[in-house]
Structure 1
Amino acid sequence: MKVVIATGGTGGHIFLGKTIGDMLKSKGVEVVYITTSKGLGTQLLSTERTYVYRFYGITCIRDVVKALSVFVPTFIHILRIYKVEYPSLVIGTGSYPSFVPILVAVTLSIPTVMYEVDTVPGRVTKLLCRYIDKMLLAFPEARDRLGVGEVIGIPLRRSILKLHRNCKLTDKPHILVMGGSQGAKRLTQLGIKLAQSLPEYDFTIITGTRIWDKVSDVRLPNLQLIPFTTDMASIYSNTQLVIARAGALSLAEFSYLGIPAILIPFPYATQDHQYYNALHFNEGAIILRESEATVDKLMDAIRYLLADVSTYQQKC
């Protein structure tokens, strides 16, 4: 059996696709990936058997024109891939790189599955959900909004499932600041200021590659800066608290590992879906809008979440 997984865009969608692919490969299924040239797909799937095509996410009228200009050649390109690979199933992870591969599969009557990982379904999911064979959802809120689909939760990476995290609060707790796969300038700036203001804590900040050159020279004894990593298990293993955006996959990992979180949803996420993701995981977390996230408020939140050692370790 051969399965095509269409994924791309942000790390959350790609890691989801790769997690599904790894699960299938462990069962003896042959897996082929399709991703776009834009985004992190080519980087994160570099060790996998992957086809790359050109397409655009749509955030404005100019993007509509770009997407339409490449739609027909992209459709033909994906059609040729399927004629070579003859997949038994095509799986999409809900992001815009899933759109054309799923559409071509529907046209060819190849069985299809769409996996929507956010509480608020994206445009691609809304557009295609009535035509695919199986709609899978991570959250009941998504089913309420979409009207169709089976809720099955979020599959986690094997490295996360196997992780045994250190739940003891040390004399110098470790705080992780991360802005998702593409980083976040605002969270990085706040993290550096927190490290300056709270020398009694150790900080690791995953900055993202976009702003790495602007912050890589910062030196503090209690601060480690990392541009990007795929080995989150190693970092989580000694993390006592995380300050992060609210991508669904990251939230599922925090919840599974029992890491308390201060969540600052990306304010420009489509349909504000990160905020609604955060609401689903609000137990053990403090949610702040980016406009509310000052250094003083974050310091208060850190001290509140780590104040009661016994309660913290019971939740871990």
Structure 2
Amino acid sequence: MSGIQKTVVISGIGTGGHYFPALVVALELVKRKKDVIFLVRRAYAEEEIAQMHGLCTVAINPQPFYGRSFFNKLFSTISLIRAVLDIRKVTKHAVAVAFGGFGALPLVVSCMINRSPFFLFEPNRIPGRATRLFSTRAKKILLGMPLATPLKGNTMITGIPLRRGLKKLISQQRKMSLQKRVLFIGGSQGARMLNRLALQIQSVLPQDYRIVIISGRRDYEWVNAQRNGRTTVIPFTLSPWEEITQASVVISRAGALAGYEILALSTPAIFVPFPFAIDRHQYYNAEYFSRIADSVVIEEKNVTTDALVEFIRKTEHRKIRRKPEIIMNAEERIADVIVQEGCVR
């Protein structure tokens, strides 16, 4: 479809790595007086967060497809077809932006049926399956980082959109705590392996260190029950940068958004990529982070408490330098592309 588009439809369905960047872009477009519809799942985190910011939402209920049993894949296919039908009217005379994950599929398919233009955002260095599947049909693929593998289609590096609270903290140049503090963070859903590791090092880390664990809601009860007096456990936070900036070292998975936020704050980091991530994309993210920010990568199979303690003591003395690859205005770049190339009125 050609001509002027009246509405921008954005899908951030999935984990925090999907809906937080989508939210930042949606708010930038609203600031520019554009009409935005934010796709969510009913009663999931993305709906709560979108409504908290006053966004217009439409609820659909797609289910993950990959890595499921045959019957679950059948159920997922039915849910995706229903989601496509639910938003056909929404995507007519609209331009869409899909931020990856299984939530991208119904939005993209609906756009293709309506011949509406759509953009894909790919935060990881290894493109996801939805990105690979639809890259040649997208108007443009917006990249959070340089890709590690070739991708067909029209690509542009925009950086990963960072939340306003984090950027405000950077602009304030708040001083870091002088206390030695190790932060374990596993992303929006937590990471059980990192939670266990954090509890294990309580007994071997020198006593002048404090430990903070962002455990995820799923693991909070048992992690909190096993902590000692110098450990603080937080189930979930909408402003992880408050903890990151107070940490002398961060131990984290290597999701694109989490890593980008840590690097933007110039905090020393040890990345432990999730070994079962599709196409090992977290490993390639971590490898990139270590190259541009002098952070450290340890594969999970090589992690021991003694080795981690040694890395912590070494890493906190390494100076992280912010490099040009950390793009601080990604949401503005993405909004510019959507408005100009998507012909949004």
- Could you tell me the TM-score, scaled by structure 2's length? 0.83
Which residue number in structure 1 is paired with residue 79 of structure 2?
Answer: 70
The answer to whether the 8 A contact 2:181-2:212 is kept is yes
Superposed displacement of residue 262, structure 1: 0.6
Equivalent pairs: percent with the same residue? 28
Which residue number in structure 1 is paired with residue 296 of structure 2?
Answer: 286
Which residue number in structure 2 is paired with residue 98 of structure 1?
Answer: 104
CA distance in 2, matches of 1:35, 1:119: 25
Give 5+ residue unaligned stretches, structure 1.
Answer: none
The answer to whether the 8 A contact 1:137-1:152 is kept is yes
Root-mean-square deviation (CA, aligned residues, Å) is: 2.2
Which residue number in structure 1 is paired with residue 333 of structure 2?
Answer: none
Which residue number in structure 1 is paired with residue 210 of structure 2?
Answer: 202
Which residue number in structure 1 is paired with residue 188 of structure 2?
Answer: 181
Secondary structure (helix, strand or coil) at the match of 1:114 reads strand
Which residue number in structure 2 is paired with residue 263 of structure 1?
Answer: 271
Q: Deviations over 1:125-152 (max 9, x none)?
A: 111111121211122225x421331122
CA distance in 1, matches of 2:321, 2:109: 47
Q: Please state if 1:11 is matched with 2:16.
A: yes
Matched residues, number = 308
Distance verdict in 2 for CA 1:78–1:189, change over 3 Å? same
CA distance in 1, matches of 2:208, 2:35: 50
Q: Deviations over 1:177-221 (max 9, x none)?
A: 011111011101111222332221111100001111222223422
- Could you tell me the TM-score, scaled by structure 1's length? 0.90
Which residue number in structure 1 is paired with residue 142 of structure 2?
Answer: 136
The answer to whether the 8 A contact 1:168-1:313 is kept is no
Q: Given the alignment, which residue of 219, 231, 248 partners 1:240?
A: 248
Moved more, 147-156 or 112-121: 147-156
Q: Given the alignment, which residue of 273, 279, 283 partners 1:275?
A: 283
Which residue number in structure 2 is paired with residue 253 of structure 1?
Answer: 261
Which residue number in structure 2 is paired with residue 300 of structure 1?
Answer: 310
Which residue number in structure 2 is paired with residue 56 of structure 1?
Answer: 63
Superposed displacement of residue 61, structure 1: 4.1
CA distance in 2, matches of 1:314, 1:44: 32
Quick one: which amino acid aligns to residue 269 of structure 2? A
Quick one: which amino acid aligns to residue 67 of structure 1? S
Superposed displacement of residue 38, structure 1: 8.7
Distance verdict in 2 for CA 1:168–1:42, change over 3 Å? closer
Superposed displacement of residue 41, structure 1: 2.5
Which residue number in structure 2 is paired with residue 44 of structure 1?
Answer: 49
Give 5+ residue unaligned stretches, structure 2.
Answer: 1-5, 324-345
Moved over 3 A (4+): 36-40, 80-83, 164-169, 311-316
Q: Please state if 1:227 is matched with 2:235.
A: yes
Q: Deviations over 1:95-137 (max 9, x none)?
A: 1101111211122122211111100111111111111212111
Q: Deviations over 1:242-263 (max 9, x none)?
A: 0000011111111111111111
Which residue number in structure 2 is paired with residue 118 of structure 1?
Answer: 124
Secondary structure (helix, strand or coil) at the match of 2:225 reads coil
- Higher RCO structure, 1 or 2 (CA under 8 Å, sep 6+): 2
Superposed displacement of residue 6, structure 1: 0.9
The answer to whether the 8 A contact 1:117-1:154 is kept is yes
Superposed displacement of residue 69, structure 1: 2.3
